[in-house]
Structure 1
């Protein structure tokens, strides 16, 4: 009771959750200690925080659905420094003009010293001068003009439509040149030509398996284009080989989600070329984005069973088609017999007992089925 009163007084005055002991009179000192009250009810609080587990629900059987590219799976974007940017380039006429001026300066200096042959000087309408020899002062300007002419004329190049140059200096990416015609690029830069035209690639028959594990032979046609030349040239050793490997990988993942044929049920199969092509295109575009390749279309042009299972699957398909045909014929025959008997009896043309009705149904069924079969 004393503890309860103390607890009530301690909690009523301050409104907190701690227990404070009352102070004693003068001359009697007791160390006051705060005791957390919630520690006394730890087990009850823990029990109240326990949540009830949800009841397990029975899972319904999953039906196959059209293949879809995984939404969360993407190839790492790679080094951000490998992004296409404009490279250092000048119009070709500027390089040709500088090179021509440097050559003209060298020729004038050699003519002044008489080092040019007289016949060559006369061909340009100038007066030959006697050879006086090259002095030490003539070598620096000759060397400078020669270097300028070599750099100016050596950097001239011809840009083609549908091609680009990837420029590197000592292994470092310096830019991309997409200009066409006569251009000037520093001869110190290493040039690597990249085809940026719209291209298509048709694969050889590739092995794959469907959702049931049956071996398939698939031919895929891919329409693609190099969008980022820096990544295509420098991110991988060969972007065309990378594309071929990714096509085979994506095709194996997409085709393994559905069966090649559904013989006795109406379910999605790999014969839906549009759905399969869309899933393959999305997956392949996500895989090749890291190397600067844009995939516009990836369509399977032929999906066939492998040679070891082709004969068995052909017989199974023929049997399924035959069974479906017989089922449809039998349904139409039964409907025709039922309609004929109902019309005869409803109009009062004949009066049939059970035996005669069964005989008539039997004869009409045989007659109609034989006619439909022929």
Structure 2
């Protein structure tokens, strides 16, 4: 089922016709001319039953004896097919905040995840007649899509360039939006945006994973410190040799390198011992 435009006329013309027919019917009764009064009043009732009002950013779906006749999207007052069943549906952009879901990522780690989904109805016929309740349908499918996407990637990739939920937020949001759009196509809903609002390890492993993250951060920091220390020692030796400040044999050069590396890499301030010379 797809939405199509319903046949509708200007509602003000219908109101004017209703007033004229009503006055004609009353006049017929006053003049006791029932052949004029009864048809006029019946026509007035038919016209008044065809008048419908559509609010801004709303749609009015019409069914006549169980058959879908179309949808009126333009706001205002309209004259539609008489005695039709009319269902209003909002076309406004809306948000849905999912609950915090407990899911296992691709590595089997339990995580807590939640998302916000921004959506709107673009096909009123599908939203009303293809699914039982499109709002409930959006909620259930959003949680199902979120679980599916969360189970495809790890929470964190640590030292690798692998896609993860924590480090590739934009990619995950795009993947979630695409997954949701595929699922909600049946309900005539367009997904404007979908993004994660909460992402954390589950409470039972949160402390262990925090220690792992801290260890990884310390290891990365130490690696940077060692790389910088090697460069500083190399530069110091090069300048000493360039300016002929001191001649160092291999043994003294090794001792100097050892002292510089210890002083730079150590996480505590160095306490040097100054050699003031010898008495002899």
Which interval holds the TM-score relative to the shorter structure? Answer: 0.7 to 0.9
How many pairs align? 269
What SS is found at the alignment partner of 2:191?
Answer: strand
Select 1:325's aligned residue among 221, 232, 257: 221
After superposing the two structures, state which structure 1 stretch, 226-235 or 253-262, moved more.
253-262
TM-score with structure 1 setting the length: 0.67
Separation in 2 of the partners of 1:275 and 1:373?
A: 44
Q: Distance in 1 between matches of 2:268 and 2:67?
A: 78
**Aligned ranges for residues 171-186 of structure 1 at < 5 Å?**
171-186=66-81
What secondary structure sits across from 1:265 in the alignment? coil
Instruction: Quote the offset at 1:295 in angstroms.
Output: 1.5
SS at match of 1:194: strand
Q: Which residue of 1 aligns with 2:183?
A: 287
Q: Deviations over 1:40-85 (max 9, x none)?
A: xxxxxxxxxxxxxxxxxxxxxxxxxxxxxxxxxxxxxxxxxx1111
Q: Conserved in 1, the CA contact under 8 Å of 2:26 and 2:37?
A: no
Structure 1 residue runs of 5 or longer lacking an equivalent are 1-81, 114-136
> In 2 relative to 1, CA 370–232 (structure 1 residues): closer, same or farther, beyond 3 Å?
same
Q: Is the 8 A contact 1:219 1:302 kept in 2?
A: yes
Q: 2:3 is matched with which residue?
A: 84
Unmatched tracts of structure 2, length 5 or more: 271-280
From 13, 30, 49, give the equivalent of 1:154: 49
Q: Which residue of 2 aligns with 1:268?
A: 163
Please give the residue correspondences for 1:121-132 in structure 2 after superposition, counting only pairs within 5 Å. Answer: none
Q: Alpha-carbon deviation of 1:186?
A: 3.2
Shift, 1:346, TM fit: 4.5
Deviation per CA, 1:66-118: give whole Å up to 9, x if none.
Answer: xxxxxxxxxxxxxxxx11111132211122122112211121122224xxxxx
Counterpart in the other structure of 1:133: none
Do residues 166 (structure 1) and 61 (structure 2) align?
Answer: yes
* 1:235-273 C-alpha deviation (Å, 9 max, x unpaired): 001111112222222222222222111223343211211
1:222 maps onto 2:117 in alignment: yes
1:349 aligns with 2:245: yes
Alignment of 1:72-151 (within 5 A): 82-113=1-32, 138=34, 141-151=36-46
Asked if the contact 1:84–1:231 (Cα under 8 Å) also holds between the matched residues in 2, the reply is yes
Worse-matched range after superposition: 348-357 or 170-179: 348-357
TM-score (norm 2): 0.88
Equivalent-residue separation in structure 2 for 1:372 and 1:331 (angstroms): 18
The answer on whether the counterparts of 2:263 and 2:269 sit within 8 Å (CA) in structure 1 is no
SS of residue matched to 2:154 = coil
Residue pair 1:92, 1:156 contacting (<8 A) in 2 also: yes
Check the 8 A contact 1:210/1:216 in 2, yes or no: yes
1 or 2, which has the higher strand percentage? 2
Structure 1 position 242 matched with structure 2 position 137: yes
Bigger mean CA offset, 307-316 vs 229-238: 307-316
Match in the other structure for 1:41: none
Residue 308 of structure 1 is aligned with which of 204, 207, 216? 204
Q: Which has the larger radius of gyration?
A: 1
- What's 1:358 paired with? 254
**Aligned mates of 1:315, 1:163 — CA distance in 2:** 53
Partner of 1:72: none
Match of 1:195 in 2: 90
**4+ runs deviating over 4 angstroms:** 371-374
Closer, same or farther: CA 373–325 of 1 in aligned 2, 3 Å: farther
Q: Distance in 2 between matches of 1:98 and 1:213?
A: 70
Question: In 1, Cα distance between the equivalents of 2:77 and 2:123?
Answer: 23
Moved more, 248-257 or 157-166: 248-257
Tell me, in whole angstroms, the C-alpha distance in 1 between the residues paired with 2:117 and 2:219: 38
CA distance in 2, matches of 1:206, 1:260: 14
Partner SS state of residue 281, structure 1: helix
